């Protein structure tokens, strides 16, 4: 996992199987003062979250091993992360997928390609 820390910063875990998207998110968020952790799929995120906390999770939907829907469902059934804000960041634009994410317990839905300023505004809004 990559780690960039900043004192008092909102901590964000990004979950995406694309190395290019991870790099894009890391640069966009660290340059705006967020502390960024990154996982390559839902399974890696779940394992890291078993022993760590973050303020907000951003997850892709289509990923190997454990996809975004599976990750949200597992986190919502855990005591530690039942109320953790989870934003879905995806190329999916279908209402059916969005409804499924909402039912699983997602906090918000962002369609790629993302606008870094809109994304960070949403992160600050949902971070408790």
Partner 1 sequence: MTVSPLSERKETILQGDVRASADANLTLSTVLGSCVAICLYDPLNRIGGMNHFLLSTPQNPATASDCDTDYGLYLMELLINEMFKLGANKTHMKARAYGGANMNRDLAPIGQSNAAFARTFLRDEGISLVYEDLEGEVARRVDFRPATGQVRVRRIASVDPATLPTQIPQAGRKRDLGTVELF
Of 19, 50, 80, 82, the residue at the interface with partner 1 (CB under 8 A) is 19
CB of 93 to partner 1, least distance (A): 9
User: CA nearest 61: which of 92, 23, 37?
Assistant: 92
64 binds partner 1 per the rule CB under 8 A: yes
CB nearer to partner 1: give 21 or 36: 21
CB nearer to partner 1: give 80 or 125: 125
Of 21, 54, 58, 71, the residue at the interface with partner 1 (CB under 8 A) is 21
CB nearer to partner 1: give 74 or 100: 100
Full DSSP string of the chain: --EE--TTPPEEEEE-S-HHHHHHHHHHHHTTT-EEEEESSHHHHHHHHTT---SEEEE-SS-SSS-HHHHHHHHHTSTTTTT--EEEEES---HHHHHHHHHHT-SEEEESSPPHHHHHHHHHHH--
114 binds partner 1 per the rule CB under 8 A: yes
CB of 30 to partner 1, least distance (A): 16
24 binds partner 1 per the rule CB under 8 A: yes
């Amino acid at each position: 996992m990559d780690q960039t820390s900043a004192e008092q910063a909102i901590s964000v875990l990004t979950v995406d199987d694309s190395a290019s998207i991870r790099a894009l998110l890391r640069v966009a968020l660290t340059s705006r003062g967020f502390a960024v952790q990154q996982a390559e799929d839902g399974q890696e995120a779940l394992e890291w979250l078993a022993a760590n906390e973050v303020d907000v999770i951003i997850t892709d939907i289509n990923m190997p091993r454990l996809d975004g829907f599976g990750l949200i469902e597992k986190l919502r059934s855990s005591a530690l992360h039942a109320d953790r804000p989870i934003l879905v960041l995806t190329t999916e634009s279908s209402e059916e997928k969005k409804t499924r994410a909402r039912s699983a317990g997602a906090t918000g839905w962002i369609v790629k390609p993302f606008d870094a300023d809109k994304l960070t505004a949403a992160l600050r809004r949902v971070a408790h």
